[in-house]
Amino acid sequence: MKLLDQLGLEGLSSLLSNGSKRYKIDARLESYSCKMVSEEKRQFKELVSRLSGDESQECPVLYLGSSQTLRDLYEMTGQVVDPETIRMSVEQYQSPPISSSLSPPRSLCSGRKRARSEASVCLDDSTSEPPCSPKSSASSLSTKDLFCLMSTLNSCFGPTYDFLTARSDEFCLEPELWLVKHYISRFCSIYVDKYEDLAPHLWKVIGDEIVPAQCCIYSYRPDHLSDPYSSGCLASFNYFFYNRCLRRVLFFSLRVLNDSLVEDEDELNESNLY
């Protein structure tokens, strides 16, 4: 994996990281070439051997975890998506939309009262169980794609963390672009000041770099033990926009760090002294 120098992405990472007066944010927008270097070729062979137990045999099917976006959107807002009317991003990749319009369809349910006909496809906001991910025939990925996601995380957070031992179900296939953008918007509106002013430029730069409407979109699910999204992290999201035609991955990560609240409390205590 090779980090591609993109000044536009670097500038946006800085704007997001410094975009809150209340929270300490670590934002990363990085673009990587999927071409392996010599060391990564060796690591890939080791991964194949570990997963298959025999380099002469094909690797077993590597199953992905369920969508983090659908679950987190439900936990954040109580909104539920009708699983019958959305596509997963792999279907978006196979048949990209002709129009660039990404307006959310009516299947995104709000807190209003629903007619009986809607109850069959949407859960009430008061329902305690999170929604299930829509069924998809593409709930697995190849060993090479898994290695690409692992290597992206290693390139971004290494050498402090090593993701080459992660399981395939720690990665999730995410829905099509409009829904991912909707979740990112809701998340950033909470933690990033005036995100709505930055969003058009943000997605213009991302679009020029990776063409997200033609990407498979994945995420990494924190293990809550030994990764940068667990210890010391108040809230976070991460997305891999994987464009196979360009052989490129754009990694978009945002972490809200726990010491944000500590700093606020210290400032409050100092103000009470005077």
For 245-266, the pLDDT digits (tens) are 999 999 999 999 987 554 554 5
With a threshold of 0.75, does the pTM exceed it? Answer: yes
- Separation in Å, CA 182 to CA 24, 188, 203: 23, 10, 12
CATH topology of domain 2-51+60-91+139-257: Protein Transport Mog1p; Chain A (3.40.1000)
Cα 234 from chain centre: 16
For 2-15, the pLDDT digits (tens) are 999 999 999 999 99
Q: What DSSP state is assigned to residue 122?
A: S
Please tell me the distance from the alpha carbon of residue 269 to that of residue 43, in angstroms, as a whole number. Answer: 50
Q: Which amino acid is at 7?
A: L
Q: What angle do CA 262, 187, 230 make, to 5 degrees?
A: 55
The more confident residue out of 178 and 125 is: 178
Residues forming a β-bridge with 257: 233
Contacting residues for 59 by C-beta, under 8 A, at least 6 apart: 48, 51, 52, 143
In terms of average pLDDT, the best of 32-36, 157-161, 223-227 is 32-36
Local structure of 222: helix, strand or coil: coil
Contacting residues for 137 by C-beta, under 8 A, at least 6 apart: none
